[in-house]
Structure formats: structure tokens, C-alpha cells
Amino acid sequence: MAEPVEVPPSATQRRLLDAARDAFGAKGFHGTTTRDIAAAAGMSPAAVYVHHRTKESLLFAISLEGHQATLAALRDAGATAADPTAQLAAMIRRFVHGHTTDHTLARVVNYELAALTPEHRAAIDALRHDIQELIRGVVTAGVATGEFDCADVGMTTNAIMGMSIDVARWYDESKAWPPQRIAEHSAQMALRMAGARAE
């Protein structure tokens, strides 16, 4: 399978993707029609069709962009820190911060995976695998240096990711703690989960 090509979206495409993200977030993928999305983007269904032949193609575009951005953000966060303890904290801080500020996007890309075609699902799963491997790599490195005390790196990585992803479900900007605080607390929890000796 060819690597998906990253092309920055045009203003029209941006409006369309944002409208689709909000519609999927509000009514779910299966509960949304392309007509709903066109109306929300202020476009005709025919104009939408020029950009995306199917509703699923919109979901894939949103999901691809979201996962690529997350992967880049985590790599970037990891590069700013020198040791596994600081790297894990920096990555989870960034990851959770993104899952609060872009919670609608995060809900759509995490809860509508089953609606993707098998080919698109495989492309997204490859990116999810890379994201998971980044975190798992840092946990493994920390065990190797003796910074972390962690008997099961795979399950612990899953638990850290689970805690972090679920923030998108419960976060509510009207009443929750500010994103910065949730991100910082999640990073501290991740260090505890990995058995960090110095938190």
C-alpha cells in the first residue's frame, strides 16, 4: 500500500473537513448525511462531491490529518527531552493537551474507526501503531536505564494511552479543569504508571 501523501488542504477543503468533523462529532458518522455536511459548510452537495465522493472519504481525510498531526507532535515532544522520564512526561503532556483542545476531532478519530473502509483502516492503523510504538519505545528505554520499574511494557503503554485518549470523552470546556492542568496531571500519572523512580 502506498504511503498516503500529505497535501495541505485549501480553504474550501478546510471548511468542509471542519464541518464534517463537527457533524460526525455531534451525530456520529452513521447519523450524518453528506447533505448535513454540505449545509454546515455552506456548500452544495454537488460541490462537496467534487472534493469527496463519499462520506467515508471525508472521515478518512479527517482521521489521516489528525493522526499525522498527533504523531508529529509526539515526535517533536520526545525530541525536546533528554531522558525517558522527561520524554514520557513531555509526550503525554502534549498528547493530552491535544485531546482536550481538539476533543471533537479526537472523539471522531477514536470512536469512528469501524466506519473506515478496510484500506483506509489499514492506513490509520499503521499510524496508530507508530504512535503506540513511540510511547512504548520510551517506556522500554526507561526500563533499560533503570528509570522505570515496569513489569509489562505492552499493557502499561496501553493503559497510559487509554487514560490519555479517554480525556477527549470526559473533557468539557464549560466545567473541567484547564487543558494545561489536565495535561500536566496526566503526565504525572503516566510516570507513576511506568514506575518512574523520580517523578
Which residues of the shown chain bind its own copies in the complex (CB under 8 A)?
26-32, 110-111, 114, 152, 155-156, 158-159, 161-163, 165-167, 169-170, 177, 181-182, 185-186, 189, 192-193, 195
Residue 182 phi/psi, 5-degree rounding, is: -65, -40
In angstroms, give the least distance from the CB of 141 to its own copies: 19
Q: At what angle do helices 84-101 and 153-170 cross, to 10 degrees?
A: 30
* Separation of alpha carbons 164 and 183, rounded Å: 9
Smallest distance, its own copies to C-beta of residue 29, A: 7
- Which CB atom, from 13 or from 104, has the smaller least distance to its own copies? 104
Q: What are phi and psi of 196, to 5 degrees?
A: -65, 135
**Nearest-approach distance from CB 132 to its own copies, in angstroms:** 10
* Nearer of residues 19 and 193 to its own copies, judged by Cβ: 193
Write phi, then psi, for 54 (nearest 5 degrees). -135, 160
Considering the complex, state which of residue 8 and residue 175 has its C-beta at the smaller distance from its own copies: 175
Residue 131 CA neighbour count, 13 Å, CB half:
26
Least distance to its own copies, CB of residue 90, Å: 18
Exposure string for 8-25, b = 16+ CB within 10 A, e = fewer: eeeeeeeebbbbbbbbbb
Output the smallest distance, CB 35 to its own copies, in A. 14
Of the two residues 141 and 159, which places its CB atom closer to its own copies in the complex?
159
Give the residue with the Cβ less far from its own copies, 144 or 155. Answer: 155
Are residues 21 and 66 in contact, defined by beta-carbon separation less than 8 angstroms?
Answer: no
Minimum distance of its own copies from residue 10's CB (angstroms):
29
Q: Write down the residue that cell numbers 512526561 correspond to.
A: 89
Distance, CA of 133 to chain centre:
14
Residue 31 vs 45, nearer CB to its own copies: 31
